[in-house]
Structure formats: structure tokens, C-alpha cells
Structure 1
Amino acid sequence: MRVGVPIFLFLAAAGFHTALTASLESAEKEDTFVGLEQLSDLQKRDQEEFEAAQMSEAVQDENTEEENDTQEEDMTDRDGNVEAVQHESESDEDVDGMRQTREHLEANVEEADETTNLAEVE
């Protein structure tokens, strides 16, 4: 019996050690699983935030493009208005030139008429 007690104590200690080791490994696996689950949640949140940032960036880019298009249209309208004003001023200059030419011709005709009238009177 004396030999049986130490063997029994040895086997009990070995069993206790095995049970304790298995328990610790199980706890580590659970922590790892919980850690992976938490990591997975963090990755999901990061992915959602990334997608939201991309969406807002796309919307912002679209708004910027629309603003640029609007600005280009405004500039085109302004350029068209400037060209129209230039064309009108050129037309006004042409009209003024024609008016001066007509007045000059009328003056010449009047002088010619006066000359003709004077020649007839003499």
C-alpha cells in the first residue's frame, strides 16, 4: 500500500495538470475566438467607414464636376455675351461709318446741285 499511495498521488497530479492545461487552452481559444470576433467587428466597421468615405468623396467629386460644368457654362455665356457686345459695337461702328458716308454723299450731291443751279443761273 505504501507504493500505491505515491502512484495514486502521481496520477492525480498528472490528471489535474492535464485538466488544467486543457482548461487554459480552451480559455485561450475562446479569447482568440472572441478576439477574432471583435477584430472582425472592427474590420466590418472600418470597411463601412471606408465605403461611406468613398461615397461622400464620389458625391463631392460629382458636385465639384457639376460646379465646374456650371462655371464653364457661365464663362461660355459670358464669352458669348462679350462677343455679342463686340458684334453690336462693330455693327454700331458700321452704321456710324455708313451714316458718315451717306452724309458725305448727300453733301456732295447738294454741292453738285448748287453748282448745277449756279451754272444754269449764269
Structure 2
Amino acid sequence: MRVGVPIFLFLAAAGFHTALTASLESAEKEDTFVGLEQLSDLQKRDQEEFEAAQMSEAVQDENTEEENDTQEEDMNRDGNVEADQHESESDEDVDGMRQTREHLEANVEEADETTNLAEVE
């Protein structure tokens, strides 16, 4: 009987050790699984934030392009208005010159008529 007690204690300690090791490994696997789930959730969240940031940048790029297009249109419109004004001023200058020429021609004709009348008398 003296030999049986130490063997029984040894087997009990070995069984306890095996059960404890299995329990710790199981808990470690669960922690790893939970850690992977948390990591997976973090990756999903990061991916969503990344996609949202990309969409925001795309919207900003579109707005910037639209603003640039609008500015170009405004500049073109202003250029066209200036060209139209310049063209109008040129037309007015031509009209003014035409009137002046016509006035001078009329004066020359009157002077010619006056000279012709003076010569005739």
C-alpha cells in the first residue's frame, strides 16, 4: 500500500496538469479567435473609413473641376463681353469717322458750289 499512494498521487497530478494545460490552450485559442474577430472588425472599420475618405476626395475633386470650369466659362464670357465692347467701340469709331467724312464731303461740296457760283457770277 505504501507504493500505491505515491503512484496514485503522481497520476492525479499528471491528470490535473493535463486538464490545466488543455484548459489554458483552449482559453488561448478563444483569445486568439476573439483577437482575430476584433482585428477583423478593426480592418473592416479602417476599410470603410478609407473608402469614405476616397469618396470625399472624389467629391472634392469634382467640385474643384466644376469650379475651374465655371471660372473658365466666366473668363471666356468676360473675354467675349470685352471683345463685344471693343467691337462696339470699333463700330462706333467707324460710324463716327463715316459721319465726319460725310460732313467733310458735304462741306467740300458746298465750298465747290460756292466757288462755282462765284466763278459763274
TM over 0.5: yes
Match of 1:57 in 2: 57
Match of 2:23 in 1: 23
What is the SS of the residue equivalent to 2:2?
Answer: coil
Output one character per residue of 1:63-119: Cα deviation in whole Å (capped at 9) or x when no partner: 1111111111111x3343344245324424542552365146425523542453344
The farther-off stretch of 17-26 and 86-95 is 86-95
RMSD: 2.2
Structure 2: runs of 5 or more not aligned: none
1:1-122 to 2 correspondence within 5 Å? 1-75=1-75, 77-92=76-91, 94-96=93-95, 98-99=97-98, 101-103=100-102, 105-106=104-105, 109-110=108-109, 112-122=111-121
With normalisation by structure 1, the TM-score equals 0.81
Query: How much identity, in percent, do the aligned residues show?
Result: 98
Q: What CA distance in whole angstroms lies between the structure 2 residues aligned with 1:78 and 1:15?
A: 91
Aligned residue-pair number? 121
The farther-off stretch of 18-27 and 92-101 is 92-101
Q: What CA distance in whole angstroms lies between the structure 2 residues aligned with 1:55 and 1:82?
A: 38
Structure 1: runs of 5 or more not aligned: none
- 1:10 deviation in Å? 0.8
Q: What CA distance in whole angstroms lies between the structure 2 residues aligned with 1:60 and 1:2?
A: 86
Output one character per residue of 1:10-58: Cα deviation in whole Å (capped at 9) or x when no partner: 1101110111011011101101111111110111111011111111111
With normalisation by structure 2, the TM-score equals 0.82
The farther-off stretch of 90-99 and 12-21 is 90-99
Q: What CA distance in whole angstroms lies between the structure 1 residues aligned with 2:73 and 2:91?
A: 28
